[in-house]
Chains A and B, each alone.
Chain A
Amino acid sequence: MQRIAKGDGDAFADLVRRYTRMLYNVAYRYNAASAEDLVQESFLRAFQHANTFSGRSKVSSWLYRICVNVCLTAMGRASLQTTDIEEVPESELTASINDRPETRAEGRETYKALEEGLALLPAQERMVFILRELQGLAYSEISDVLGMTEQAARTNLHRAKRRLQTWLSPLLTS
């Protein structure tokens, strides 16, 4: 990171090649349509603020934090276009997913349904879920990345799981 802070292009290229997949997976699960833009913006900020990396956390945690901020900022801009899953009655969640062909399919369609459900989660819950369940971060690292207590991370995760479980209920029952 010190080399990047000094403008070392090769060091930055190494960073990009090492961590693009990690950030892309976070950004895609958070907002598939804008994933590439979110990742690019994340690395742009990482490059421009490399001198602020103190070394107290892992590079991956630092990058996660940047990516999360980029995603949440983008979410703020697009908030009027999203629907909170809490605002959708459970009966409608079940009915809507029953109406979709994914209900009768498995594999990729199931993941697609999961992504649709993720998109309806409140931003913070969505991010905790992504980091914990899809990226495999420890609660302590999630706490560091998101700036919340480990207990708060657990609470957010459990809420997210409850909502997603409801969303996917027809698939899980079958």
Chain B
Amino acid sequence: MECSEALDFLYQSFDAQLTPTQQMLLDAHRRTCFACANTLTRAERFQALLLQVPQLAVPRGLEDRIIERVFAANHVTTKRGETWQTLVESITNWRSFGYAMGTAAAVIALILISRGVFQQSALNHHEVPSTITAAISGTLDVNTASGTTQQSGSLTLSPGETLTNSSDQPSTIAISPNLAVTIGNGTQVKVGQVKVDPQTGDPNVVAVRVDHGTVGVRESLQKNSGAIHVATDQATVVPTGTIFTVTAAPGTTQVAVGEGSVAVYLPGETFDVLAGNEAHITADKHTVTKLRTGTKFSR
């Protein structure tokens, strides 16, 4: 046996690949070649070392971080962000008032159900008033110091004015791509503080007081969280956030809601998914079930 073969033979012996004859040749060479004997001894020590290399433990929280990252990476706001924006900007009706909205594809829109109750002092800030020009669906009667006008298409929200929906249909004010307020039919509200981010033009605060009727708020919390304050005689309500995941895969979409609520718009149909539930949507059906134990949401 050549010295160059000895080490290969030894490695093969670790894999039980040597024939008895090859093993005899290796053993014989080892007895007669001092250099190879040392090399082979080191190789055996090396092999013994490898057997003692421990398996590493997984860093704390890594599994959760993986799951969160993968869910986030497949979230509607990143995979279908453009569709989402387009939808929000074009929403003119709201299912809570009896309207269904058709879209070309199954897209998801967020409707926030306000749950936080704040003190009425939220309306009493001493800040520079501002105005917001917003698109509206339907019509609204806008009462200011200079009189009452009926607005459709768009209106300017200004502090102190009163908005009345005297029609038999709800009207939605699309304040920003992330914020829409629906004024139910027969509802009257007063506009309180309106504050706009001078850099972006996005609303920082829009406060409305509900004199009577119903106001719905749909706020995408991608930004401007808490921008809308809705007050009544008893309370001021500010959205505190919604947490949900949307998982898109070929032929199916899963929507799991941790907090708040989302509205799911399908072609010709809309339904809500409330906190603690998840929806499974395919091309021909959808089901809503309780969240399975262990479902986690990133915050």
Contact = CB atoms under 8 A, between A and B. Distances in A.
Contacts of B74: 47-48
Interface stretch (B38-46, B98-106, B136-144): B38-46
A104 interface: no
A133 B245 CA distance: 40
Contact of A9 (B45, B62, B69, B71): B71
A13 interface: yes
Interface stretch (A16-24, A67-75, A80-88, A89-97): A16-24
Contact of A134 (B53, B250, B253): B53
Contact of B46 (A10, A17, A24, A164): A164
- B interface, how many residues as a size bin? 35 or more
B62 A20 contact: yes
Nearest to B69: A40
Interface in A1-48: 5-10, 12-13, 16-17, 20-21, 24-25, 28, 36, 39-40, 43-44, 47-48
B63 A111 contact: no
A120 B247 CA distance: 40
Given A5-B250, A7-B248, A51-B250, A165 B46 contact: yes
A40 B65 contact: yes
A105 interface: no
A110 interface: yes
A157 B12 CA distance: 11
A39 B62 CA distance: 9
> Which 9 pairs from chain A and chain B are nearest by CB?
A7-B249, A172-B42, A7-B247, A172-B45, A7-B254, A47-B70, A6-B252, A133-B50, A7-B252
